[in-house]
Amino acid sequence: VAGEVAVDYLLGLGHRSIGLLGSAPPTELLGKTFSNQDGMERALDAAGLLEDAMRWFVPIEDESSPAGYLGMASRFVERWATTDADARPTAVVCKNDQAAFALLAALAERRIDVPGDLSVLGYDNTSEGEFVYPPLTSVDPRIDVCVGEVVDRLLRLLDRTGEIETPHASGA
C-alpha cells in the first residue's frame, strides 16, 4: 500500500518516470511474500509506466553501513547524471529514509537540484528528515497500524486452528 501511495503522490505531481533506490528481495511472513516495492510496481503498471521504471530499480547491496547506502546512491547519481535528460527518471522512491539521506548527499555533491532536477521521496518518515536540505518528503508506513493488523491476523489464524481461545467481552 505504501508503494502505491508513493507512486500516486509522484504521479499527482506530474512525474512520469520514477525509479526505486534500494529495492530489496521480498520477505515472507505467515506463508505470504511481501515486498516494499509490490505496491509501487502495481501503481506503475496501472499507469503504464512499469517497464520504463524497472530500468531504474537499483538494488542495495549492503544495508549494514552508511558506506553501503552512499555507494548505492553514488552509483545511481553517476548513472542518472550521464543519461540523456529525456531518458532518466524525474523522481525516485527510496527504500527507506537512510537511502534517501545518502541520495541527497550524493546529489548535493554533484550539485544536482532537488527537487528541481530530481524529486526524492523517502520511506519511514523519520524525524531526521526535517534536518536535511531540502527537507525530506517521506511516506509514513504507520507501523502501529501494520503491527495491529498482524496481531489481528495471527489471533484469527490461531482461533481457527483451535490453539487459543480469543477473549470475549462479557456483559456486566
At 155-165, the pLDDT tens digits run 777 777 665 55
Question: Average of pLDDT values for 7-27?
Answer: 85
Residue 172 scores a pLDDT above 50: no
Convert the pLDDT of each residue in 116-138 to its tens digit.
999 999 988 887 878 788 989 88
What CA–CA distances, in Å, run from 116 to 97, 99, 107, 109, 165?
20, 19, 12, 15, 56
Alpha-carbon dihedral angle through residues 157, 162, 163, 169, given to the nearest 10 degrees: 80
109/150: higher pLDDT:
109
Confidence at residue 93, expressed as pLDDT on a 0 to 100 scale: 92
Q: What is the pTM of this model?
A: 0.75
- Specify the pLDDT at position 158: 77
Handedness of CA 101, 96, 141, 118 (dihedral sign): positive
Cβ count within 10 A of residue 150? 12
